[in-house]
Amino acid sequence: MPGLTIISHNIFWGQGAGFTSLPPPENPDPLVWDKLRELYLRERPDILCLQELQNRDCADDLALKMNKAVAFCPGRKIPYYGGGIYSSLEMTGLADCRGTAPPVQRMWQSVEVTGPGIGVVICNLHLPSARQYGAERAAQVRLEELQAVLSQERRPDIITGDFNEKPGQGVTALMESRGYDDPAELTGNEELETTAGGSRSDYIWIKRPLSRFIKDYRVLKNITVTREPGKKESISDHRPIRITLDFPKG
């Protein structure tokens, strides 16, 4: 069976957990950046979806170091909330939030990924948090932005990223009503935390007809940078999530 492995990760601008000031620096912390690259090279995903890429130069640098093609999209209202889809398979049909109305706060992007026995549309997104909007307004904006993604001419087969919302709330209800499954729940891993704060806000949603091809779902360990007191301890305030699908031949 042809397999497809996807990793989604909010990389916190490559600054390492403990970073607090915004806007982020134009360049990642070199030690954190090396640790991120090592992690992705070790895991060898076919598709890597990253959130909080601050600019095109960072996106291209990582693509070069991993020998993958990248589709980059800057944040719409806040440019440093960019995202990137990295692929070792062919990517076509790029669509993203640039030029859409009303403008999203952060970003979404989608591509069709094709390979032997594989042809799926994957969307990478980052929905707003309460940081800029406050909790009540952020919850409303998340649903509005997600509705726009779901209203594309070809609705994505897989939607991955930082949804900034715990399970069981409005985002969950909308995704389930539109025919998507949460692999973490299907595999009994819904209690696994994806953030340093101890919650789960990162997801890889799968269209229901494709859910039968789910082979594996994991939340990866957050890599240690240093254990020195007062220094950065891990590569991000989010942990990578990883899913593997096995599609039938032909």
- CATH code, domain carrying 39: 3.60.10.10
pLDDT at res. 49: 98
Give me 100's structure tokens: 């859409």
Alpha helices in 53-201 (DSSP H): 56-66, 130-133, 135-150, 170-177, 183-186
Total tally of structural domains belonging to the chain: 1
pLDDT tens for the chain, residues 1 to 250: 478 999 999 999 999 988 888 999 999 999 999 999 999 999 999 999 999 999 999 999 999 999 999 999 999 999 999 999 999 999 999 999 998 889 999 999 999 999 888 899 999 999 999 888 899 999 999 999 999 999 988 899 999 999 999 999 999 999 999 999 999 999 999 999 999 888 999 999 999 999 999 999 999 988 877 655 556 678 999 999 999 999 887 5
**Percentages of the chain per state (helix, strand, coil), in multiples of 5:** 25, 30, 40
Give me 249's structure tokens: 């031949």
- Rounded CA gap, 6 and 225, in Å? 24
- Rounded CA gap, 67 and 60, in Å? 10
- For residue 197, the tally of other CB atoms under 10 A from its CB is 9
pLDDT at res. 227: 52
Nearest by Cα to 16 from 1, 27, 2, 5: 27
User: pTM of the predicted model, to two decimals?
Assistant: 0.95
Give me 231's structure tokens: 């220094």
pLDDT at res. 166: 96
Nearest by Cα to 27 from 17, 18, 16, 38: 16
Domain that includes residue 38, residue range: 3-246
